[in-house]
Amino acid sequence: MFGLAQIPMKSNSIRFAAELYTKIKLSSQSYTNGLPIRAYSEAVAENNDKISKAMKAYLDRAKEHDEFMSTQNVAFKLGKRHLANMMGADPETFSQADIDRSIQYLFPSGLYDAKAKPMMKPPELVIPQRKAAEFNQSGRPFHSMFYTGRPNYCKLLFQIVSNINELNDVEDQMRLKQASPDPTQKIDSAGYDWLSKDALEKILLENLCDTEYDNFIKAISRLNSHPYAYKKKSFLDKYCRPLLAKTHSDQIPKPLIDENGRSYITVYECLRKTARGDVTLLAPGKGTITINGHDITYFKDVQAREQVLFPLIFADMVEKVDVIANVAGGGFSSQSGAIRWGISMALRSFVDTETVDRMRIAGLLQRDYRRRERKKPGQAGARRKYTWKKR
């Protein structure tokens, strides 16, 4: 890779590389938080004549990265202190949970994607990690698969194949004993999926193409389909992620039957701002909507009507159920938001689990806890300032 492994090394250079390798154990570390870099820099500072050009370039990049992370950490701590002062809290005991709550309060967002919402987290959690040194001071790589270009990826495939071979040996031994796999320990893969390409790249710290990712999926799926895969469950759990929280049948209320033989569900405590209401859904229905004894024209604003109709349109239940809603307090916006949440929660009892998961992704099942921000002393409003006049 660097053309340095072929350079003959002197005996003292080999001894220095071995001692350095044992001291900081770079071969067992795939990631770095800056400490191995500093240890390596201090260790090789006394042996400048033995450092290869590749290692010098690596140390220069590592030094720049450490300085950048140090600057970001200082900025984060300063911002954390300012945020704590804004919220009237003690900066010394201001935790990450307090930061998240403060950001949600100061910057309310209706965006459903968590990546699109404003956040404030330590730089170590936001900035991608860097690989540690993969070669010693003479340019000799630590990893046996270094020259493949993606050593961590190749090592992962090697581990998967090794596990499959071990399970094959176990299967052969069990067949000789005329024994079969334990059906009670079979891995249930429902509700789980393999890591995405981006997530796998973050773990391996290597860029993968689509073909390499497909090869990983095929290999890990083959291991997971083995009859004795439960013996390698700890390894498989590292590379799978749960899908959306599974909606259990006991969490969704079963519809009741009224005197006319129709199924119905009533959702109480439908909240939005200062509006409070309850929503009853009846099926089968003709699509009639009754709000405080009026039809949907109870709302004069078109946007409020769209808020009420959105969950029915989303679940394709517009002309299949009837809606009866009673709401009080607040304005048209808050009342329509409360009814929308009540309809969404009631629809869970009349649609399949896939539609429920789609509704959860769309944010229909999430309460909107936003409130009007209070006026601040010395200001004209929550954010508005008084006009400053010099004279």
DSSP 201-222: HHHHTS---HHHHHHHHHHHHH
Name all domains of the chain by residue range, CATH numbers in brackets: 11-131 (no CATH), 146-242 (no CATH), 256-361 (3.30.230.10)
Q: DSSP state, 127? A: S
Tell me what pLDDT residue 20 has.
46
> Percentage helix, strand, coil, to 5, in the chain?
50, 10, 40
Phi-psi region of 278 (alpha: psi -120 to 50; beta: other; left: phi over 0): beta
Q: How many CA atoms lie less than 13 Å away from 8 in the CB half-sphere?
A: 2
- Per-residue model confidence as pLDDT tens for the chain (391 residues): 333 333 344 444 444 444 544 444 443 343 344 444 455 555 555 555 556 565 666 667 777 777 888 888 898 889 889 888 888 888 888 988 888 888 888 876 655 556 667 788 888 877 766 666 555 555 566 666 666 677 888 889 999 999 999 999 989 998 888 888 877 787 877 667 888 888 888 888 788 889 999 999 999 999 998 988 888 888 988 898 876 544 444 478 889 998 888 999 999 989 999 999 999 999 999 999 999 999 999 999 999 999 999 999 999 999 899 999 999 999 999 999 999 999 999 999 999 888 998 898 888 998 888 888 899 999 999 999 999 888 8
Q: Whole-angstrom Cα distance, residue 86 to residue 22?
A: 49
Can you tell me which residue has the tokens 């390409």? 197
Tell me what pLDDT residue 53 has.
60
Q: What are phi and psi of 327, to 5 degrees?
A: -140, 145
Residue 141, helix vs strand vs coil = strand
Q: What are phi and psi of 362, to 5 degrees?
A: -75, -5
Query: In this structure, are residues 284 and 337 in contact, taking their beta carbons and an 8 Å threshold?
Result: no
Tell me what pLDDT residue 132 has.
60
Q: What is the pTM of this model?
A: 0.42
Q: What are phi and psi of 146, to 5 degrees?
A: -60, -40
Tell me what pLDDT residue 54 has.
55
Query: In this structure, are residues 159 and 239 in contact, taking their beta carbons and an 8 Å threshold?
Result: no
Q: Whole-angstrom Cα distance, residue 225 to residue 186?
A: 10
